[in-house]
Structure 1
């Protein structure tokens, strides 16, 4: 293993922040820990939000970024200004993440924006909302109504992006939306499964969970 004196910046992994949780699992999948990095005279810098992490790269206070949202302008700006070089993920690490978290992979092909070579990285092809088990069923049902009946509002924020840069697979399909990598909330399952005369999807799913 190449041991570099690097300064990695990523989001906080406090049990509530997905953009901190996945980078932590990403490092684990490569057999690298915070202690390893520190033993190489490196440093792991923690910030809460993505733009706070980006700011440290932009200022030169960090030289390695583990973060989400490849479609955003800040990634393009960092690559175009030669402050970042995108590195592919090792195949063994991708396989590990797929088995442990259900993360699929996606290739950023050469010629996509400022990318000069194909880069493979973990990929979340949909957005998943996490709620507590004790969330009232009525609230869970309302969340599903918002996601399904107003999905065009969410699609509109992503459909101008190319598929290589897009973290959302559209058009959204309620049947696929119900195929999550975690167990559905009871209220969510009932709402997805029922036949409702007021919705354009009847029924939304037929499979058991």
Structure 2
């Protein structure tokens, strides 16, 4: 099925992205434009700013939006296993290779995250808040508790997004960093004012997360400044493209067709970056896109099966 499905009526679709300047907003724009190119005149598309966390689920459930994107997929899988994603389906996954990493001032007398508990009064931790929405903050605080470190005894400097926190740590304003987006240039500068070390979460933390559907992953030696050995840590990869289960079949099918068949239009926006340091994995592989943390919308599942290995639609991508 190389030809796009045809919508027989104008549609209005509401998407929910990120704060506005990051990858999720870009993906929403990509999907919205590609659907719009294949929808009748009078169709309208809006992208609402969001936070990329649990707010996306609530916006879908409340009917505020039709399609939302959240990261990491591990958190969505955890929600699904806990029965907290009822009524939500997937349209696919956009790949991203990311990790939740703990970096510390090398002068601290610690070798694991558990060791932080003994010097809690000496620590300023840069991370995100555990506020019921931010999944970085959720994972960081949950993992600290599982490691035996009481967050109430720590001093935190909270930021919603990774980059203020990474900059704070790099400037020496915090001596512990717990964050993601490890493929970005900011992480390559975290040893700017002093040497840094990286701490493993420990087997018990990783086992507990894995039991709830959240896997671990490795950051290879040399990938980050001062990382001399492979670091086993929590996975923080991939973007889940989500919808409600009641999204119209023809819209779900067209959205999926656009994601698969026009994926070069998204990849081209990241091709100037080395593949292992790109915030979107390229090339995108349809079989991987179809491996979703929540069940695929039935029309989406049928579309993945129908497309198989069809030749892509070029469409003259803007950034190619």
Could you state the TM-score of these two structures normalised by the residue count of structure 2?
Answer: 0.50
Structure-2 separation of matches of 1:37 and 1:106: 25
Q: Larger C-alpha radius of gyration, 1 or 2?
A: 2
2:220 is aligned to 108
2:210 is aligned, of 94, 98, 101, to: 98
Cα deviation for residue 70 of structure 1 reads 0.9
* Contiguous gaps of at least 5 residues in structure 2: 1-113, 313-320
Match in the other structure for 1:176 = 288
What's the offset of the Cα at 1:71? 1.0
Alignment of 1:179-190 (within 5 A): 179-190=291-302
Query: Quick one: which of 37, 45, 49 aligns to 2:151?
Result: 37
Q: 1:161 aligns with which of 274, 283, 306?
A: 274
Give 1:108 deviation, angstroms: 1.9
Partner deviation per Cα, 1:56-78 (whole Å, 9 max, x = no partner): 32454432221111111111111
- 1:117 paired to 2:228: yes
Which residue in the other structure is 2:126 paired with?
Answer: 9
For residue 259 of structure 2, what is the aligned residue in structure 1?
147
Can you list the C-alpha shifts for 1:76-127, whole angstroms capped at 9, x where unaligned? 1113443643223323322322232332411321x33533411222224433
Q: 1:143 to 1:67 in 2, by over 3 A?
A: farther
The residue that corresponds to 2:162 in the other structure is 50
Query: Deviation digits for residues 136-168 of structure 1, max 9, x if unmatched?
Result: 5555444423422232244342684364x5665
Taking the aligned partners of 1:154 and 1:99, their CA distance within structure 2 comes to 34
Q: Equivalent of 2:140, from 18, 23, 35?
A: 23
| Partner SS, residue 129 of structure 1 | strand
Q: Could you say which structure has the higher strand fraction?
A: 2
User: Number of residues paired by the alignment?
Assistant: 193
**Stretches of structure 1 lacking an aligned partner (at least 5 in a row):** 202-209
Contact 1:126 1:167 in 2 (8 A): no
TM norm structure 1: 0.71
What is the distance in 1 between the residues matched to 2:138 and 2:271?
24
